[in-house]
A = this chain, B = another copy of it.
Amino acid sequence: MRRFDAGGESFRWDAVPVLDYKSDAAAPFRDITRQTLFKRDDMQGELRYFEVAAGGHSTLERHEHTHAVLVLRGLGACLVGTAVHRIGAYDLVTVPPRTWHQFRAAANAPLGFLCMVDAARDRPELPDARALQTLQSIPDVAAFLAGDMS
């Protein structure tokens, strides 16, 4: 059993290291940490906790594997495909295979969320200029990607 560490401003657990979100410097992201809560040889799923600080965001990417997300705290928005959703505590988000997605915290609040994935999964793909242009041609998506959380 691992206790939740209620002392800090961010969510932390005993004996769960707070990791860089990604080691790949080429993938753009900002102010986000990763904690692996459950990853075991005898389980096919993994459960991670991501915390995006106010104003931060995850990488815009897609991959074959599915994300199953449950927001634990805070406020923000997510892009899934071409849809932008405002999200808050306990909302559920499914990111299906090969779907562009990004999570952003509100300007004045963090966004903490659980993400279940398969342990065996592919690596993410970043959008090329053409894919980015297609996404940015949609006004709601362009506003989201520009960090306009109003």
Interface residues of A in 30-70 (CB under 8 A from B): 37-38, 40, 42-47, 66, 68, 70
| CB within 8 Å for A93 and B45 given contacts A38-B68, A66-B40 | no
Q: Is A3's CB within 8 Å of the partner chain B?
A: yes
- Knowing A47-B70, A66-B43, A68-B38 touch, does A11 contact B90 (C-beta < 8 A)? yes
> Are A118 and B45 also in contact (CB < 8 A) when A3-B91, A92-B2 are?
yes
**Count of A interface residues, CB-CB < 8 Å:** 40
B-contact 0/1 string along A98-120, CB 8 Å cutoff: 00000000000000001011111
Any chain B CB within 8 A of the CB of A94?
yes
Can you show 17 pairs from A to B with CB atoms below 8 A apart?
A: A1-B87, A3-B91, A4-B91, A4-B92, A13-B92, A16-B92, A37-B68, A37-B70, A38-B68, A43-B45, A44-B45, A44-B118, A44-B120, A45-B45, A45-B68, A45-B116, A47-B116
